[in-house]
Structure 1
């Protein structure tokens, strides 16, 4: 459907490309200079367009960040689509963890840390971050319920507690990777997976109360 619309309306595709260019430029600016030091003029220059043209797509830096969060949410949705496919869950989880914590550039972790820092002062950012984490936890719980029904997760494990544990460790890995350029990401992924495997087996106290 989207391809057909682009063929019928070339401007639609051009607009999407410009928005992507702006978001990519904003990511680079926020990582390089921080959220507060970056201006909309900086983003416009990085994207190779005039400030007036930029404001046609995004009315503020907050709007840019919200769009970045929605883009990340869509990427996470693609990951969960992979995880929901039939097969052993643990190898799929390991592959996706490796993708996010070892393969993707460290700058993505820096951007996450920048947004989380702003969330401590900006209520709209805090609400966005809370909604993002809640969405991931809900997706994981749905995935884990199916895995538990299939016997891949011990029956006594509290799935909400398991999802919360994984999100907490994953966020910690993002912070570590952002602040420590020498972090051994491979070791971090291995440690995360060791915890997940132990939790799946019921070896961590995540029992229902």
Structure 2
């Protein structure tokens, strides 16, 4: 029997997650059953369970993928354009979030998942870990700015990273509740709030 390639497994996993996003957006997390997910993905229960033991695992996978994309984008922007301002980095992140929302309803799913994390200890713990990882990524970016630009050393990089997370979460919430038009100017506003700082050199 031929071995299943990593590319096939990745494609099948993404197919299931895309189906889950559509179902969650249409019916909500609680009203969507595993049978609904099988139907949406047009796969057997065994095919889905091979990748995800249950609905919680699908929610966590979606959240992890989304946070990983944001963290990767922030890392890419800061590595390829190390002199960019915090505002530019945040603007790039919210632009990614907006584009992802148009493709997959990221904002609505995110709000549903946050709500679930308040009453589901497993999801709450996983979300806390993911947010801590993202905060550490952002703190590293800010720390580099503090060492190489005129960005003040106080408050701490960790505290400033918490503010940046607040901006990203607030952007998601507004996307979910108010729509894309309400946040169309957010990238420009972030660049205005955090313009480039003069080099210390």
Count of equivalent residues: 192
Give the conservation status (yes or no) of the 8 Å contact 1:31–1:111: yes
- 1:193 is displaced (CA, Å) by 3.9
For residues 80 and 95 of structure 1, do their structure 2 counterparts lie closer, same or farther at Cα, with a shift above 3 Å needed? closer
Give the conservation status (yes or no) of the 8 Å contact 1:119–1:126: yes
- Runs of at least 5 residues in structure 2 that lack an aligned partner in the other structure: none
Deviation by residue 1:170-206 (Cα, 9 ceiling, x = unmatched): 21221121012364222233334444449x79xxxxx
Residue number among 18, 27, 31 corresponding to 1:24 in the alignment: 18
Runs of 4+ in 1 over 4 A off after TM superposition: none
1:46 aligns with 2:64: no
Residue number among 72, 80, 98 corresponding to 2:74 in the alignment: 80
Q: Is the partner of 2:30 in helix, strand or coil? A: coil
Measured in 2, the distance between the counterparts of 1:30 and 1:15 equals 22
Give the conservation status (yes or no) of the 8 Å contact 2:21–2:109: yes
Measured in 2, the distance between the counterparts of 1:84 and 1:188 equals 20
- Runs of at least 5 residues in structure 1 that lack an aligned partner in the other structure: 1-7, 202-209
For residues 142 and 170 of structure 1, do their structure 2 counterparts lie closer, same or farther at Cα, with a shift above 3 Å needed? same
Please give the root-mean-square deviation of Cα atoms over the aligned residues, in Å.
2.3
- 1:144 is displaced (CA, Å) by 1.0
1:59-78 to structure 2, matched below 5 A, reads 59-78=53-72
Single out whichever of 14-23 and 88-97 deviates more from structure 2: 88-97
Measured in 1, the distance between the counterparts of 2:26 and 2:153 equals 46
Deviation by residue 1:110-144 (Cα, 9 ceiling, x = unmatched): 01001001111111111122112111111111111
Measured in 1, the distance between the counterparts of 2:164 and 2:68 equals 19
Residue number among 111, 119, 125 corresponding to 1:127 in the alignment: 125
Length-normalised TM-score, structure 1: 0.81
Which has the bigger relative contact order, CA under 8 A and spacing at least 6? 2
- 1:14 is displaced (CA, Å) by 2.0
Give the conservation status (yes or no) of the 8 Å contact 1:98–1:186: no
For residues 150 and 116 of structure 1, do their structure 2 counterparts lie closer, same or farther at Cα, with a shift above 3 Å needed? same
1:116 aligns with 2:100: no
Which residue does 1:164 correspond to in 2? Answer: 162
